[in-house]
Amino acid sequence: MGKPTGFQEVERQAAPYRDPHARVLDFKEIYTDHNVGGLEAQASRCMDCGVPFCQSPDLNPINARSGCPIHNLIPEWNDLVYRHHWRDALDRLHKTNNFPEFTGRVCPAPCEGSCVLGVTDPPVTIKNIEMAIIDRGFEEGWVVPNPPSVRSGKKVAIVGSGPAGLAAADQLNSVGHSVTVYERADRIGGLLMYGIPNMKLAKAEVVDRRVDLMREEGIAFKTNAAVGDGSADSMSVMDLAGEVDALLLATGATVPNDLNVPGRELNGVHFAMDFLGPNTKSLLDSDHEDGAYISAKGKNVIVIGGGDTGTDCLGTSMRHGCKTLTNFEIFPAHPAERRESNPWPIYPMIYRVDYGHEEARARFNEDPRVFSISTTEFVGDDDGNLIGLKTIDMAFENGQLSQIENTERFWEAELVLLAMGFRGPEHDVSDPLEIEYDQRSNYLAEKGSYQTSIENVFAAGDCRSGQSLVVRAINEGREAAREIDHYLTGSSTLP
């Protein structure tokens, strides 16, 4: 490393977000401008650690996260940034990551949880540095279209334009295959477009910028292109599979977990994505002038579910101008430090304050989260409108949840958002193909081959593995592209 003693001399300083009181007044990105000198100093903290666990693969993808799923060459580009070689750092970053502008913004950074320095000290600010490298690459004009010089004559169709589908398209196009991406929504990006709010991931400035670049490289994108959903204008997935040499399903895990308690049918109880998606579409279409979204303005809002989607519901509700904001989590709060059962280098399951929590605390002077609580009933008025809900406190012992007697409470609410994760993919696309499913209803395709029970049909991303991270979806898209390339040509030069 260029600065072997950097970790001893420089303290961790994560890049700050914009002031929470100011940023809740708009849907602009929450990030501040990059401090080049500060980032170079932070990069100097990367140790000559011998074994860079930050770029190691997951130890157990089902139960734990560790390292970088796409094996980013983190120590290499940290060293290059420290030595002011930003262009070279960009080249190293792009060797493993098609879309660092996405992961640098929305990834929870399991790499930092596996940083060797993190055993005894705060880890390197890997995520901040990654984002700065790619943002500077675009600012300097270093990121330019790079279309293939020769076409293979092979056609590939990809259904779904989320991170897995886009990564596969980028890789397959780079080796000359003709790729068409089909997206049922009116804009390309999948969850990057309509699942993640604008304040975390700007659409025109970040997502569309990359899609436009891919389009210039020769990838075809078709929006409003429903495949196999049975609607009058939908395309036949069987016909599509027969027209191409390979078909990749990258449809995501879009079936949400529900909360089947009395009163679920009341007006005012919505799935999180029915709140977040239309909000972004209305923002992009008309700056919310069309009113085609569920508004939290002036309402008592309760978000049920404490993951990233729940946090995004908090942030969006704040920007609408909600009256009050509460976030229910059924499990107890994580501890401030790792448990013995959660050792390094596994992702640390510790108490965190995300951007939405920080904003709610700034506005309402308290963290919005209520832990160890479960909803038992939604309560409505005579017109079928939600007016509140009933809860009971929960105990968690020996890995089991149980209700605590005599802890029932009533909470006022006119809007409840269910953000409890996703069960798996919709089957409108897959049922006509008669592909096999696993026990969790995901498309059955072994990791490593990504081939379904139909020879020329592959699957990658959340529709295959279940709900996961953007960075893991990119990894699956890249790996599936390599297998498709091998299927089409008998060999592959893709990583």
Q: Give the CA radius of gyration of the chain.
A: 23
Q: In this structure, what are the phi and psi dihedrals at residue 143, rounded to the nearest 5 degrees?
A: -90, 110
Helix (H) or strand (E) holding 315: helix 308-320
Which amino acid, residue 470? V
Q: Give the chain's domains with CATH numbers.
A: 6-16+32-139 (1.10.1060.10), 155-255+423-489 (3.50.50.60), 258-420 (3.50.50.60)
Q: Alpha-carbon distance 304 to 411, whole Å?
A: 13
Q: Walk along the chain (495 residues) and give the pLDDT tens digit of each residue.
A: 678 899 999 999 999 999 999 999 999 999 999 999 999 999 999 998 989 999 986 655 544 568 999 999 999 999 999 999 999 999 999 999 999 999 999 999 999 999 999 999 999 999 999 999 999 999 999 999 999 999 999 999 999 999 999 999 999 999 999 999 999 999 999 999 999 999 999 999 999 999 999 999 999 999 999 998 666 677 899 999 999 999 999 999 999 999 999 999 999 999 999 999 999 999 999 999 999 999 999 999 999 999 999 999 999 999 999 999 999 999 999 999 999 999 999 899 999 999 999 999 999 999 999 999 999 999 999 999 999 999 999 999 999 999 999 999 999 999 999 999 999 999 999 999 999 999 999 999 999 999 999 999 999 999 999 999 999 999 999 999 999 999 999 999 999
Question: Cα–Cα distances in Å, from 268 out to 195, 307, 388, 410, 456?
Answer: 20, 21, 10, 16, 44
For residue 443, the 8-state DSSP code is: B
> Which residues lie closer than 8 Å to 261 by C-beta, 6 or more apart?
375, 376, 377, 378
Report the pLDDT value the prediction gives residue 58, as an integer from 0 to 100.
61
Pairing outcome for strands 386-397 and 409-412: antiparallel
Taking Cα atoms as reference points, which of 242, 241, 253 lies closest to residue 458? 241
Q: What's the confidence (pLDDT) of residue 48?
A: 87
pLDDT at residue 60, as a whole number: 55
User: Kindly report the CA angle at 27 between 326 and 287, in degrees rounded to 5?
Assistant: 115
| Residue 258 CB neighbours (<10 A) | 12
Cα separation, 226 vs 233, whole angstroms:
7
**Residue 63 has what pLDDT?**
47
- Contacts by 447-452, CB closer than 8 A, 24 or more apart: 447/476, 447/479, 448/479, 448/483, 449/483, 450/248, 450/476, 450/479, 450/480, 450/483, 450/484, 451/483, 451/487, 452/249
pTM of the model: 0.96
C-alpha distances out from residue 276 to 195, 296, 356, 395, 420, Å: 6, 11, 14, 31, 14
Handedness of CA 41, 42, 47, 51 (dihedral sign): negative
Let me know: does 338 contact 346? Beta carbons within 8 Å.
no
Q: What is the pLDDT of residue 422?
A: 96
